[in-house]
Amino acid sequence: MSEEVRQMFAEIAPRYDIANSTLSLGTHRRWRKRAVRLSEAGNGMSVLDCATGTGDLAMEFKRAVGADGNVTGTDFCKEMMQTAPQKAAAAGLDIHYETADVTALRYPDNSFDITSISFGIRNVDDPSQALREMARTTRPGGKVVVIEFGQPQGLFGALYNLYSRYIIPTVGGALSGKKSAYSYLARTSAQFPAGEKFLALMRETKVFSSVSATPLTFGVAFTYIGIKKR
């Protein structure tokens, strides 16, 4: 499964950013800024952004930790990271990128103040293992930050469902040339154990002293934060 996922992202990589910005109407940028604020990332901290893709969350973290901090972006699909170094350099941000699978990170224990993953954990075969690996490489008292899609409820939820089922695959397919990747996005987002269910999964790992969820845009997405046990 993970090789199919990696291959799918390799194919859409060149058009990922344009599809992302069009389909979210730019909202993803606000979500990332909010998640970084919630993480309380500050000057001089070290951050590992997993499944970084084209590097937008890593860039947002770098803005928060400043020149004294350091940010590493990793992904198991090198094609997805291809444009990330140029994007960061163009924004005047010094970020290190390397290939890594979030379920088997090669960094020592307690290496980072914060580890993060945005819109990546939904694609991972074993999300609990990803959370455990992220927590292992985070220092005690540090934070694991996850942004992932949810399933909004009520009238807004019904409208969003229509958007997700019909518009996302059609527009995403037209922009990327790969409709199946955007049907996959809609399907996996609808099935993802969001909100309380994801908090339960985080608790089951037994690596966090506390976990929290903050809805973004009425629950279209959530930011989850787990504080690593001391």
Using DSSP's 3-state secondary structure scheme, residue 128 falls into: helix
**CA–CA distance, 149 with 215 (Å, rounded to integer):** 10
Which of 45, 48, 124, 211 is the binder for ligand SAM (CB under 6 A)?
124
CB 227 within 8 A of CB 140: no
Which of 119, 149, 160, 222 is the binder for ligand SAM (CB under 6 A)?
119
Which of 35, 36, 72, 75 is the binder for ligand SAM (CB under 6 A)?
75
Stretch that binds ligand SAM, among 40-48, 116-124, 168-176, 216-224 (CB under 6 A): 116-124
Query: Which C-beta is closer to ligand SAM: that of 58 or that of 65?
Result: 58
**CA–CA distance, 228 with 230 (Å, rounded to integer):** 6
Which of 39, 70, 123, 176 is the binder for ligand SAM (CB under 6 A)?
123
Q: Which amino acid is at 203?
A: R
Q: If binding is defined by CB under 6 A, does position 84 make contact with ligand SAM?
A: no
- The least distance separating ligand SAM from the CB of residue 43, rounded to whole angstroms, comes to 23
**CA–CA distance, 185 with 207 (Å, rounded to integer):** 29
Which of 72, 103, 137, 164 is the binder for ligand SAM (CB under 6 A)?
103
The answer for residues whose C-beta is within 8 angstroms of residue 97's C-beta and 6 or more apart is: 52, 55, 58, 72, 73, 74, 81, 84, 85
Supply the DSSP string of 189-221, one letter for each residue. HHHS--THHHHHHHHHTT-EEEEEEEEETTTTE
Which of 36, 48, 51, 216 is the binder for ligand SAM (CB under 6 A)?
51
Stretch that binds ligand SAM, among 64-72, 99-107, 160-168, 175-183 (CB under 6 A): 99-107
Q: If binding is defined by CB under 6 A, does position 80 make contact with ligand SAM?
A: yes
